[in-house]
């Protein structure tokens, strides 16, 4: 199982993102600031009426008293997890 790059709005034939299995990902909390990525589990993909892809992700947010939340994130906020090390900011 590999990560499918979801930064593009089109997907290869037969690779409907809604039917893809869950994946471990890193979630970039901010597009503007260099912040430590959060560990997440991709649950579901949805396409907005404007054609943008959003991912439903179970996220462990960093900081004091880590918590688990389920949030929608833009596709460009996700980075495939390749081991335990967070990607460089």
User: What is the residue-level pLDDT of the chain in tens, covering all 89 positions?
Assistant: 455 555 554 555 555 555 555 689 999 988 888 888 888 999 998 999 998 999 999 998 876 778 899 999 999 899 888 766 666 65
The residue assigned the tokens 């054609």 is 51
Domain spans, the chain: 17-74
Query: 49 by DSSP, 3-state: which?
Result: coil
Q: Using CA of residue 12, residue 16, residue 20, residue 25, what is the dihedral sign?
A: positive
Half-sphere exposure (Cβ direction) of 66: Cα atoms closer than 13 Å? 9
User: From CA 32, how far away is CA 29, in angstroms rounded?
Assistant: 9
């Amino acid at each position: 199982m590999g990560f499918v790059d979801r930064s593009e709005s089109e997907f290869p034939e037969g690779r409907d993102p809604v039917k893809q299995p869950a994946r471990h990902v890193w979630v970039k909390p901010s597009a503007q600031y260099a912040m430590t990525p959060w560990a997440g589990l991709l649950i579901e993909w949805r396409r907005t009426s404007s054609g943008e892809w959003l991912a439903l992700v179970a996220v462990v947010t960093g900081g004091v008293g880590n918590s688990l939340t389920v949030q929608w994130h833009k596709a460009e906020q996700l980075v495939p997890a390749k081991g335990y090390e967070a990607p460089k900011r």
